[in-house]
Amino acid sequence: MKFDAPITIALSKGRIFNQSLPLLAHAGIEPADDPDTSRKLILDTNHEQVKLVIIRATDVPTYVEYGAADLGIAGKDVLLEYGGDGLYEPLDLKIAQCRMMTAGYPDRKQNNGRLRIATKYIKSAQRFFATKGEQVEIIKLYGSMELAPIVGLSDLIVDLVESGNTLKANGLVPLEHIADISSRLVVNKASWKMKHGLVMQLIDAFRDAISQPTT
């Protein structure tokens, strides 16, 4: 690929950064630093024109919508909460795959009042229970949702489940499937127009990388 315009890609460190590396490599992009050891928030790459900004997963859509980054890589869970139609979502990258589910105690007593649901996924939880016609009370948490039923804060949680081991370690079981989650490429609307050739080349390179069995 030839990078003939500046391009900034927003992504979060950890799982998404690590699983994005093979996709970026397929587009010829090699980060100059590892965000797990570097304190830099903007990573240089082997291309002068290509920068990576390393931010909180939930901030990626904001950076991309407002054009602070041309492209971003964000979990569908984050995009569902972010909502709106402020950015394009042209490609499922098939990385960081898991499921959004309800979870709770296997032998939970059916209570008559409104169920209390602890989650950081307020919108997704509201939508899910509204579709089922269930009146629930949603309690916003920012992490460690598994704790909520244990300490009696909630009846159920809505969280991401991969192996189910975290739930199991806390005596909980996955109950109902809400959505399949994976990370998506998101693109700023102005960049889509102004840097169309470059954006299309990146999309093609990522799509090609995804279709290869080893990635």
Task: Report the interface residues with ligand ADP, using CB under 6 A.
Answer: 12, 14-16, 57, 75, 77-78, 96-98, 160, 162, 181, 183
The structure tokens listed for 95 are: 């990385």
As measured in angstroms, the least distance from the Cβ of 14 to ligand ADP is: 4
Which is nearer to ligand ADP, 13 or 47 (by Cβ)? Answer: 13
Which is nearer to ligand ADP, 12 or 191 (by Cβ)? Answer: 12
As measured in angstroms, the least distance from the Cβ of 75 to ligand ADP is: 2
55 CB-near residues (< 8 Å, 6+ apart) = 10, 11, 12, 41, 63
Q: Is 175 helix (H, G, I), strand (E, B) or coil?
A: strand
Residue whose Cβ sits closest to ligand ADP: 75
Which is nearer to ligand ADP, 115 or 157 (by Cβ)? Answer: 157
Question: C-alpha 155: how far from its chain's center?
Answer: 25
CA 52 to CA 69: how far, in whole Å? 9
Q: How many residues are there in the chain? A: 215
Which is nearer to ligand ADP, 70 or 77 (by Cβ)? Answer: 77
Which is nearer to ligand ADP, 97 or 126 (by Cβ)? Answer: 97
Which is nearer to ligand ADP, 170 or 201 (by Cβ)? Answer: 170
214 CB-near residues (< 8 Å, 6+ apart) = none
As measured in angstroms, the least distance from the Cβ of 76 to ligand ADP is: 7
As measured in angstroms, the least distance from the Cβ of 117 to ligand ADP is: 18
As measured in angstroms, the least distance from the Cβ of 169 to ligand ADP is: 13
168 CB-near residues (< 8 Å, 6+ apart) = none
Helix axes 196-210, 15-26, angle to 10 degrees: 110
As measured in angstroms, the least distance from the Cβ of 77 to ligand ADP is: 5
CA distances from 33 to 1, 42, 174, 176, 185 (A): 21, 9, 38, 40, 22
Cβ–Cβ < 8 Å for 123, 140:
no
